[in-house]
Structure 1
């Protein structure tokens, strides 16, 4: 059985692949960019293995399996260019979006890598980064616009 459930919340999806169930949740926040990449936002993957999903998982500890799963998903997203990190730049050298993908293992029935990759991609597909513009007296204040507000092209 293969099922992708796009959840009601933007940026989240649940995947069932056989007996394995995984949820992906995408969030974003403002951060300062890395010095060596002042025009790029960041992407981070955080797998969470719960003992409820599999008794071999330890509570509160990221074991080697979680680290390896995070690396595999990260490598796949970066090499496929599923996320354009340059488009996450708000003010070069000062402010960028940091995208975080939480991968929650709900049931481990095998084939965890495939289910987690699909969950990460499905969650990214539903994620809507808020539009923002610069304003204020000095022109450096970031204004976040609600999703229903349409931003004129001249503001981009």
Structure 2
């Protein structure tokens, strides 16, 4: 993958993320063994952080924020993971009727800590540097 977002609710094969130079993947790691199947040469694994304020809006407004179901892939890919992940699953359920996706949403507090975010190290570095440059220009 060189860009974009991937959501995996099932088991992955071995060598996941081999050659991944950009983008973000969210993988449901129910058994805690995903790292054994992930190629760590270019990526880092991290938990999906809890974002209480954003999720409060999602959970109490029918799972939809101001963007009406759209997932922002052009914004800050280094933050807002829980919101993005929840919206991706909500969209998946909406468009496919996924029973698995509905189970995850209905039991969000239990499932959220089992997701892993996979992001290439150099991609993260480039995004952070671009944000620093943007902030520097805006401050001038």
TM-score by length of 1: 0.27
Larger Rg: 1
By percentage of residues, which structure has more helix? 2
By percentage of residues, which structure has more strand? 1
TM-score by length of 2: 0.30
